[in-house]
Each structure stands twice: as structure tokens, then as C-alpha cells.
């Protein structure tokens, strides 16, 4: 758990152009640069009471940090069955849809590091989520939740990509209303 959280914190910090000392200062002197280094290397993890401040500074989901840090359970035990048979995508915020995408990809790539790159609205080289393995981006993903997502939008997304990866994907949910009876 510590390593996953560390890599996630490091990616979020670097995407903002901050060094470790700057992040420590932004936390109001609660920690020093050496503590941030320990978190990112997986040798330690932030105290639980620092997680909300870290999430706010790095503009990431508090729940995601709590899961990656091992403060809460990540997944239900095997043998459980969801009570809901369809996913309520229309109820998800953009950030929640990105978090869902990460969890989904983590299930598909359990031996890889799956993480969000920045936050909704940030310039991210056209990509929102990465799957990293063996020191390279094996998959770069753009996440879109829109009313409609056709060929023109696909072409626009492709043109935005400036970061190299072995493969690319678009996770899109079209928020369509069911036809009236």
C-alpha cells in the first residue's frame, strides 16, 4: 500500500511542478521535506489527519488517498455481489468517473501502477489516467463524461495527446436520457 500511495503522491506533486520541500511548506510546517520523501518512496505514509490537507493541495479525492494509504479497505472480499446491477454513471461527478476509471483499470492491470494524472480541468497532455509498468506508460487514458461523444470529439481528444504511451484509450460515458414512452 505504501508504495502505491507514494507513487500517486509523487505523480500529483510533479504534475504541479512542485518539489518535495514546497509540498512540505504548503502543509503549513506539519512535516519537512524528508517526510514527503519517505511517503513517496513507500518507507512511510502521511498521518491520517494530514490526508484531507494533502487531498486539497493536490486536488485529488480524499477517499482515493485513504484507500491507497491503506487507511480504509480497497475492495470488498471475494464472493460479495453488488446489490445494484447497473452502474449509476449519470450520478457520478467528473472526478468520481475518473476515480472509477482508475479502479476499473487497476482490476484489469493488477501488477501495474494505475493513477490519475492531475485533476479534471488541468492541462495534462490530453491524458487523465496512466497505467505504468516496467518504467513506462503502457496505457494512457482520456476520461470524458459528456452528453454526446462522437467522431469529432474523438479526433479532438486524439489531437490533445502529447505524452507518449504504448497504447491509448478513451473512457467515455454518454449521459443520454432514455427515450420517452
Q: What is the DSSP letter of 163?
A: S
Cα(181)–Cα(179) distance, rounded to whole angstroms? 6
135 touches 151 (CB < 8 A) = no
Q: Which three cell numbers stand for residue 157?
A: 481528444
pLDDT tens by residue, 162-177: 899 999 888 887 655 5
Cα(149)–Cα(152) distance, rounded to whole angstroms? 8
Cα(173)–Cα(150) distance, rounded to whole angstroms? 11
Q: Which domains does the chain have, with CATH numbers?
A: 2-68 (1.10.260.40), 89-174 (3.40.1350)
- Burial of 51 (C-beta count, 10 Å sphere; 0-12/13-18/19+): buried
pLDDT tens by residue, 87-132: 666 777 777 888 888 888 988 888 889 888 876 666 778 888 899 9
pTM recorded for the entire structure: 0.49
Amino acid at each position: 500500500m505504501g508504495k502505491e500511495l507514494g507513487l500517486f503522491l509523487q505523480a500529483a506533486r510533479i504534475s504541479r511542478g512542485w518539489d518535495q520541500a514546497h509540498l512540505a511548506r504548503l502543509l503549513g510546517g506539519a512535516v519537512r521535506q524528508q517526510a514527503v520523501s519517505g511517503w513517496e518512496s513507500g518507507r512511510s505514509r502521511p498521518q491520517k489527519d494530514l490526508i484531507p490537507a494533502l487531498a486539497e493541495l493536490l486536488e485529488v479525492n480524499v477517499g482515493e488517498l485513504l484507500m491507497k494509504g491503506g487507511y480504509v479497505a480497497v475492495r470488498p472480499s471475494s464472493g460479495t455481489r453488488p446489490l445494484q446491477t447497473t452502474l449509476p454513471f449519470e450520478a457520478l461527478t467528473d472526478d468520481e468517473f475518473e476515480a472509477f476509471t482508475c479502479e476499473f483499470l487497476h482490476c484489469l492491470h493488477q501488477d501495474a501502477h494505475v493513477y490519475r494524472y492531475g485533476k479534471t480541468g488541468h492541462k495534462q497532455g490530453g491524458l487523465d489516467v496512466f497505467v505504468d509498468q516496467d518504467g513506462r506508460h503502457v496505457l494512457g487514458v482520456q476520461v470524458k463524461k459528456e452528453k454526446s461523444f462522437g467522431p469529432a470529439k474523438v479526433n479532438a481528444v486524439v489531437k490533445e495527446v502529447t505524452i507518449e504511451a504504448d497504447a491509448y484509450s478513451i473512457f467515455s460515458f454518454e449521459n443520454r436520457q432514455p427515450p420517452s414512452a
